[in-house]
Amino acid sequence: MPFIHRRGPDGTQQDPAAAAADLQAALAALERGGIPPKAEQRLAELRQGDQMLFTSDLSVNEFALIARTGLQPVSQVMGSSVYHVGWQGMPGSFFGMGRGASELGVLSQAWNSARSLALSRLQQEARLAGADAVVGVHIKWGAHDFAPNSVEMVAMGTAVRTARAERTDPPVLTDLSGQDLWKLLQAGYRPVGVVGATTIFYVVPQWSTQRLTTSWLSGRSNQELPDFTQAVYSAREVAFGHLSAQAQTLGAHGIVGVSIDQSIGRREVDTGNDTKRIDLIVTLHVLGTAIVEVPDPESIQRLEGRLGRDLDVHTTLDLRGAL
């Protein structure tokens, strides 16, 4: 094996007792909502390395701009949570009772808990890395085949620090890219944290809608399906309600860079006597960054050295295509 400069798994067997102890320690840490000791170890190594090595998932352009804001990348950080989704009763399953839109509370809550656990672990990693902030936080979610009835949320980002001696505690998270963060700081704002929410709505159609969506006579008329519209609206309102509430707790003036991921699924329900009903499941994931206006541009200028409130915008018509 040509492991001259690359190190692979060394193939040595770990002592089983020590491995079991490690596993128990890791599980105990996760139960507390913490991060496994192995991760702490990696970050500690990173801090103690004689030459300050950083890892980052910053693109080169982001890296170039981050350096200009006076921020220094420290380490790529991550937080993850696999969450078991509890039993959720579907509305309308009992003789079509409960028509209209309602939130599937158990599902929403599972996603939201998984997200906050993942983000809190990301934040803990950043704190251990000695960072002031995490930029470019993005969340991947999905389900694994090996774990039925469960969801996984993985939050990743790059921890950065300022030149100051004292650290911001806890580190500030933002889903903005290095480019966006630079522009925002230039304009006199700063991020205070990441806000996110998931809502899942279930719609059992009213009789009129059910007739329109399933009967063979339905093809004739142009008509809005008010209860479906209503459900999409409600899901959005609830999700943004959560966002606003979270932003207010952070003392933010506004939210920028919101990404919305909306998907609508159909569920056919057999209602007996060869009839069926089409129900709708509306899923909405939102994530954004809460920001505050920096009250005194002087102070931030002292802080970072290079920031101003004036933002010169040049307009160009780019004839070259994306370089």
Residues between 207 and 266 that touch another protein (CB under 8 A)? none
Answer yes or no: are the C-beta atoms of 246 and 72 closer than 8 Å: no
Residue 18 touches another protein, criterion: CB under 8 A: no
Nearer to another protein, 165 or 317 (CB): 317
Q: Is 59 in the site for another protein (CB under 8 A)?
A: yes
Pick from 17, 18, 48, 87 the residue near another protein by CB under 8 A.
Answer: 87
Looking at beta carbons only, is 38 or 164 nearer to another protein?
Answer: 38
Q: How far is the CB of 120 from another protein (least distance, A)?
A: 12
Rounded distance between C-alpha atoms, residue 4 and residue 207, angstroms:
71
Q: How far apart are CA 292 and CA 304, in angstroms?
A: 16
Distances (CA, A) of 276 to 51, 95, 207: 67, 12, 12
Please state the closest distance from residue 10 (CB atom) to another protein, in A.
Answer: 9
- Dihedral of CA atoms 107, 109, 112, 113 in degrees, nearest 10, equals -110
Residue 309 in the binding site for another protein (CB under 8 A): no
Residue 30 Cβ, how far from another protein at the closest point, in Å? 4
Number of residues that bind another protein (CB under 8 A): 80
Comparing CB distances to another protein, the nearer of 59 and 299 is: 59
Is residue 84 involved in binding another protein (CB under 8 A)? yes
The residue among 14 and 221 lying less far from another protein, judged by its C-beta, is 14
H or E segment to which residue 112 belongs: helix 105-128
Counting Cα atoms < 13 Å in the Cβ hemisphere of 315 gives 0
Cis preceding linkage at 148, omega within 30: no
Task: Establish if 81 lies at the interface with another protein (CB under 8 A).
Answer: yes
